[in-house]
Amino acid sequence: MAHRHTTVIFILAAKTILLVSAQLRPEDYRLPELYTPSSYEIALDLAAEAFTASSNEFSGTVTIRFSFINITDYIALHSQHNFITISKITFNSTEVLSGNYSINNVTDILTINVGHAITTGITYDLVIEYTGVLSTGDMYGLYKSSYVDSNGLTKYLVTTQFAATFARRAFPCFDEPALKTTFDFSVTFPTGLNVLFNTQQYSSVSNATTGESALLWDQNESSNRYQQRVVTVVAHELAHQWFGNLITFKWWSEIFLNEGFATYFEFHITHEVLPAWELDKQFVIEEVHQALLGDALENAHALQSPTTTPAEISSKFSIISYSKGGSVLRMVEHFMRLDNFRAGLQRYLNQL
Ligand SMILES: *[C@@H]1O[C@H](CO)[C@@H](O)[C@H](O)[C@H]1NC(C)=O
Ligand SMILES: *[C@@H]1O[C@H](CO)[C@@H](O)[C@H](O)[C@H]1NC(C)=O
Ligand SMILES: *[C@@H]1O[C@H](CO)[C@@H](O)[C@H](O)[C@H]1NC(C)=O
Ligand SMILES: *[C@@H]1O[C@H](CO)[C@@H](O)[C@H](O)[C@H]1NC(C)=O
Ligand SMILES: *[C@@H]1O[C@H](CO)[C@@H](O)[C@H](O)[C@H]1NC(C)=O
Ligand SMILES: *[C@@H]1O[C@H](CO)[C@@H](O)[C@H](O)[C@H]1NC(C)=O
């Protein structure tokens, strides 16, 4: 067994299930503004069987260090019951008996009753031990996929996709963008395999992953159109290092700030590097026209619109947030002029 450790800024970001039809209010899906997390320590154990067809199980322990903003007698955080089975909870070094916590299967909120002695201004440790299931039906949370190598052998890999609301499938956490904090991550995995992190320690594009079809470019086989696609997808994901990772909106109703900026820069940064491709002009056909088409639909939502459930959050990853978001930012660039726009963005990014 081998270990790798790293510390990164972590954006907690889900899953939609409706098992009961109880009437829930929008606020029932939100965590109360009672907690300030200061760090996560996540230890995942992926056994050799998880890299075969026979098992999709893993186990984990998460230590959440946080303080209370107000005096209360409970902790509310996220955990997705289809993927996570809690075996033990320890708060402030005392075990919480199983009758004192429960998961709401609709809102994914895990509520832990911890007694009455909580004080504000003190950092507490919450330790949750659990077993988890690797997702095989979709590419969210901690998911497992496979490929056949040149010898005809099936090889398995495990990857994460935590945005928007899927971190709660991999480990219990405060899975809301306003509660972002650092985390220390360790993985125990079988000898002979490798772990890649797209963080500062193991940094850079080469080991960040995106859909593989966006990276498998072959000089002799791929079209120019496809080459452009690969370059713009990489530029889009890199733009998220600033718009999304460095600066994060408080809630998903403002997701256009992430996707609009990333769409804008996907074209305009690539244009700076490869002006012959004229991506500044292509933006009008690819994004502005798409935005107008999407906006003409009866079900079009506003750039900022009420967003509560994981399904609603997911539906905000739309042509409106990406194409209209990017188009509106381009309009702002045009009426401010590029130099002012740049200076404004620099101030915005440095305000942190
Ligand atoms: C926390 O306490 C403050 C001051 O008493 C109060 O205004 C606020 O509503 C409380 N917040 C929550 C989530 O209970
Ligand atoms: C939530 O789902 C689990 C597993 O399907 C089930 O055991 C549990 O009773 C459900 N809880 C509620 C409150 O619906
Ligand atoms: C719940 O916690 C309280 C203390 O806060 C304890 O007295 C009680 O026994 C616990 N109940 C269960 C079922 O664990
Ligand atoms: C945390 O543990 C300390 C030491 O055992 C104890 O004095 C304190 O009351 C506990 N606090 C809570 C909120 O359980
Ligand atoms: C990740 O990429 C960086 C930069 O290309 C490289 O130095 C590093 O060795 C890679 N890490 C792994 C684990 O492959
Ligand atoms: C592309 O074709 C050239 C010329 O036929 C060949 O030398 C080169 O190896 C090919 N490259 C790839 C990646 O297949």
Confidence of residue 143 (pLDDT cuts 50, 70, 90): very high
* 101 alpha carbon, closest ligand: 3
DSSP state of 173: B
Instruction: Tell me how crowded residue 137 is: count the other CB atoms within 10 A of its CB.
Output: 6
Res. 200 pLDDT band, cuts 50 70 90: low
Structure tokens at 324: 């209209």
Higher pLDDT, residue 14 or 79: 79
Domain count within the chain: 2
Mutate which of 70, 71, 179 for ligand 1? The one with the most ligand atoms within 8 Å of its CB, which is 70
Return the best residue to mutate from 92, 93, 113, 120 for the ligand 4 pocket (most ligand atoms within 8 A of CB): 92
Quick: pLDDT tens for 296-321. 999 899 999 999 999 999 999 999 99
- The reply, when asked if residue 236 is annotated as ligand binding, is yes
The reply to whether 159 and 230 lie within a common domain is no
Q: What is the pLDDT of residues 11-52, one digit of tens each?
A: 333 333 444 446 788 889 999 999 999 999 999 999 999 999
The confidence score (pLDDT) of residue 213 equals: 57
Query: In terms of residue numbers, what domain contains 139?
Result: 2-206
Q: Which atom of ligand 2 is nearest to the CA of 19?
A: 14
Determine the pLDDT at residue 194: 87
- As a whole-number percent, the residues of the chain with pLDDT over 90 amount to 76
pLDDT computed for residue 352 by the predictor: 67
Question: Does 217 lie in the same domain as 168?
Answer: no
Same domain, yes or no, for 76 and 168? yes
Residues 214 and 186 in one domain: no
- 140 with 225, same domain: the answer is no
259 is known to lie in a ligand binding site: yes
Shared domain check, 87 and 29: yes
Mean pLDDT, residues 243-247: 90
Instruction: Measure 88 CA to ligand 4 centroid, in angstroms.
Output: 18
Residue 20 CA, distance from chain mean position: 26
Final residue in a domain of this structure, among 206, 229, 262: 206
Domain termination residue (choose one: 206, 232, 254): 206
Average pLDDT over residues 202-221: 59
pLDDT in the model for residue 214? 55
- Indicate yes or no: pTM above 0.75: yes
Which pLDDT belongs to residue 108?
96
Other beta carbons within 10 angstroms of residue 84's beta carbon come to 24
**Rounded CA separation 247/254 (Å):** 12
Q: Does 254 show up as a binding residue in the annotation? A: no
Instruction: Report helix, strand or coil for 58.
Output: strand
| Same-domain status, 196 and 222 | no
237 labelled catalytic: yes
| Distance in angstroms between the alpha carbons of the first and the last residue of the chain | 39
Q: Copy the structure tokens of residue 276.
A: 């012959």
What's the rounded Cα separation, in Å, for the pair 59 and 46? 7
Please state the rounded mean pLDDT for residues 325-343.
97
Query: Are 175 and 236 within one domain?
Result: no
Average pLDDT of the residues of the chain: 88
CA of 232 to the centre of ligand 6 (A): 24
Indicate whether 183 and 275 sit together in one domain.
no
DSSP string for residues in 110-168: EEEE--S---TT-EEEEEEEEEEE-B-SSSSEEEEEEEE-TTS-EEEEEEEE-TTTTHH
32 lines ligand 1 (CB under 6 A): yes
What 3-state DSSP class applies to 279?
helix
Q: What is the pLDDT of residues 151-178, one digit of tens each?
A: 999 999 999 999 899 999 999 999 999 9
Regarding whether 191 and 100 lie in a shared domain, the answer is yes
pLDDT band for position 201 (cuts 50, 70, 90):
low
Q: Write down which residue in 145, 178, 206 finishes a domain.
A: 206
Contact of 30 with 176, CB cutoff 8 Å: yes
Both 202 and 228 in one domain: the answer is no
CATH code of the domain in which 33 resides: 2.60.40.1730
Question: What residues form DSSP beta bridges with 342?
Answer: none
Closest ligand relative to 209 C-alpha: 5
pLDDT at 15: 34
From the alpha carbon of 105, which atom of ligand 2 is closest?
A: 1
Q: What are the start-end ranges of the H helices in 201-309?
A: 224-239, 256-273, 279-283, 289-295
Average the pLDDT over 221-234 and give the result: 91
329: DSSP letter: H
CB burial string 21-46: b at 16+ within 10 A, e below:
eeeeeeeebebeebbebebbbbbbbb
Reported residue count of the chain is 352
- Distance (Å, whole) CA 262 – CA 256: 9
Kindly report, residue by residue over 262-273, the tens digit of the pLDDT: 999 999 999 999
- Does 155 share its domain with 53? yes
Worst-scoring range by mean pLDDT, 172-176, 214-218, 277-281? Answer: 214-218
Q: For residue 292, what is the domain's CATH number?
A: 1.10.390.10
